[in-house]
Structure 1
Amino acid sequence: MQRTETMEKEGEGETYFTVIETASDTLDSSVKFHLVTDILSFVLFMHHQIPSLLQDLTLEFDELNTEFAELETAIVQAETCSLRRTHASRKREVRMGIRRVDKLMNTISSFKTALQLMITEFPAIQRAVLILGPSPLRPIHVYELNFSCDTAASGGHFTRNRVVEALSKKAIRVLISKGAGSSSSAGPTKLFLLVQAPSSINLRLHFLPKRDFRYNKKVISHRLSL
């Protein structure tokens, strides 16, 4: 894979545009899904919206839930009161850990479900935009992914593979080299996902339709084209 890079000035903002060349038959709908979610994880982490990458958070969350279930069983099976108290104390700690990230993990799960539904309905999506800011019209940070190749459907399977890993690492390295995430954060903010798709697609539980969307260009934006 090769890449070409340009920088454009738009108003008072700057746009870093990068082309990552790849074989057209590698960008199936599953690859697109994981690229968007991996960039999402990078964006949230680099802008201090989450304490660690989503993969690490997901692993930690799953481990806490597993430990919680094991502790419930251990309390029932404990032979002494002191052992039951020990397990109960640890169970309270684990429950607090689960509650700290439960809302975030549910939100991320809903995000992934919405994106999977969109890609399943329309595998040939050509543009996805991640916006951090108080509203889509007033972004603080903008990350745009453009897919120029025709897309094959993945049959509803969204498993990771070596193509995903390679493209994801490549894209994140490019973003880091262009200073993505280097600016200071203004504190907690909102994340918006915009996907360019035909108006005939109806996923109103997950996506609100918006025609001819334009955002404020007076920000630094990063565009990746694959």
Structure 2
Amino acid sequence: MMRKSEKKKTMAEEKSTEIEMTTDSIDAALIFHVVYDVLAFLLYMHQQIPSMLQDMTFQFDSLQTERKEEIVLTQNAHDASFRRKNLGRKRDIKLEIKRLEKLMNTISGLRTAFQYLLCAVPNVENIVFVFGASPRRPHHVYEICFSNGSKNFLASEVMTRTRMIEVVSRKVIRALISKGVGTVSYSGPSKLFLLVKAPTSFNMPLHFLPKREFQHTKKIVPYRLKLISRNSHKDISASCPVYKAATGFQQQQNVSSDLVWFQCRHVIKGLALGNPTPEE
């Protein structure tokens, strides 16, 4: 019979995937776009948003534009029936914007905060997404590890999305799908937390708060992805330790004590969906 410790080790191995890339180094632009793509994918697969984030962003922008147009049309309308129709449409648009506004603003805030972080700490190596009531009581945990070797990029270059980034992002999404992400049933709106490991000198209190003693419940084994550049050594345990379920995300002795976890203050809360279909 398999021992309990051996069973935990097997579970951790099953939920760990290593992705080797053709690029020589992992820069801030790649980290930024991969993390944002994973964020969007996880929100959709866990049914926290009704459609893909890209479609929702387009819909939200369109609603805001339409609201401005309807205001002008209503003000200039002389026909009473046309005016009533415009007022009704304006109310519908206002309600839909109100339903989406907080979510979209929070996602935008998280995106901006992460971009600021990469400008200050371009060689980020450990990133964690936590679904649940709090980081200590998660339902699902996803960890992305980037091998050391990131280059310092200017803020204007962080947003650049290249063909290589597209390829890497698709590999990461396919890896998550192969691990069964999104196969659980919808359990209602949840919170999504972003945590990043950065130097203790990092100081951005409007966007990130230090969580030095961060660890989650022992019952959760995180889904772990390791992204390794072509010239990096495959054993990256020093920069991306394999955390065991028994110890959560506590730092191991071979990790620099100068690095601690920081939690993004922009916490995303999913939308309450009517009658979502089971995730496939």
Please give the TM-score of this superposition, normalised by the length of structure 1.
Answer: 0.88
- The 10-residue stretch of structure 1 (46-55 or 191-200) with the greater mean CA deviation from structure 2: 46-55
CA contact (8 A) 2:134 2:191 kept: yes
Q: Name the residue aligned to 1:57.
A: 56
CA distance in 2, matches of 1:64, 1:26: 40
CA distance in 1, matches of 2:54, 2:211: 31
CA distance in 1, matches of 2:205, 2:42: 25
Q: Name the residue aligned to 2:214.
A: 213
Structure 1 pair 153/53, CA: closer, same or farther in 2 (3 Å)? Answer: farther
1:186 aligns with 2:187: yes
Deviation of 1:101 after TM superposition, in Å, equals 0.4
Q: Name the residue aligned to 1:167.
A: 168
CA distance in 2, matches of 1:203, 1:25: 30
Q: Name the residue aligned to 1:45.
A: 44
1:196 aligns with 2:194: no
Q: Name the residue aligned to 1:33.
A: 32
1:178 maps to amino acid: K
CA distance in 1, matches of 2:113, 2:135: 18
Instruction: Spell out, residue by residue over 1:58-88, the C-alpha distance to the aligned partner (whole angstroms, 9 max, x if none).
Output: 1110010011111112223334222222222
Three-state SS of the structure 2 residue aligned to 1:203 is coil
Instruction: Spell out, residue by residue over 1:144-176, the C-alpha distance to the aligned partner (whole angstroms, 9 max, x if none).
Output: 110104222342131333223222111111111
CA distance in 2, matches of 1:45, 1:211: 30
- The 10-residue stretch of structure 1 (8-17 or 73-82) with the greater mean CA deviation from structure 2: 8-17
Three-state SS of the structure 1 residue aligned to 2:205 is coil
Structure 1 pair 165/209, CA: closer, same or farther in 2 (3 Å)? Answer: same
Deviation of 1:14 after TM superposition, in Å, equals 4.1
1:202 maps to amino acid: N
The runs of 5 or more residues in structure 1 that have no matched partner are 1-7
Once the two structures are superposed, the pairs formed by residues 99-110 of structure 1 within 5 Å of their partners are 99-110=98-109
CA distance in 1, matches of 2:71, 2:185: 43
Once the two structures are superposed, the pairs formed by residues 76-225 of structure 1 within 5 Å of their partners are 76-157=75-156, 158-211=159-212, 213-225=214-226
What is the total number of aligned residue pairs between the two structures?
219
Three-state SS of the structure 1 residue aligned to 2:16 is strand
1:194 maps to amino acid: L
Please give the TM-score of this superposition, normalised by the length of structure 2.
Answer: 0.72
- The 10-residue stretch of structure 1 (182-191 or 109-118) with the greater mean CA deviation from structure 2: 182-191
- The 10-residue stretch of structure 1 (182-191 or 42-51) with the greater mean CA deviation from structure 2: 182-191
CA contact (8 A) 1:13 1:217 kept: no
CA distance in 2, matches of 1:185, 1:14: 24
CA distance in 1, matches of 2:208, 2:223: 23
Q: Name the residue aligned to 1:10.
A: 8
Q: Name the residue aligned to 1:3.
A: none
Three-state SS of the structure 2 residue aligned to 1:193 is strand
Fraction of identical pairs, as percent: 47
CA contact (8 A) 2:145 2:226 kept: yes
Structure 1 pair 177/23, CA: closer, same or farther in 2 (3 Å)? Answer: same
CA contact (8 A) 1:14 1:221 kept: yes
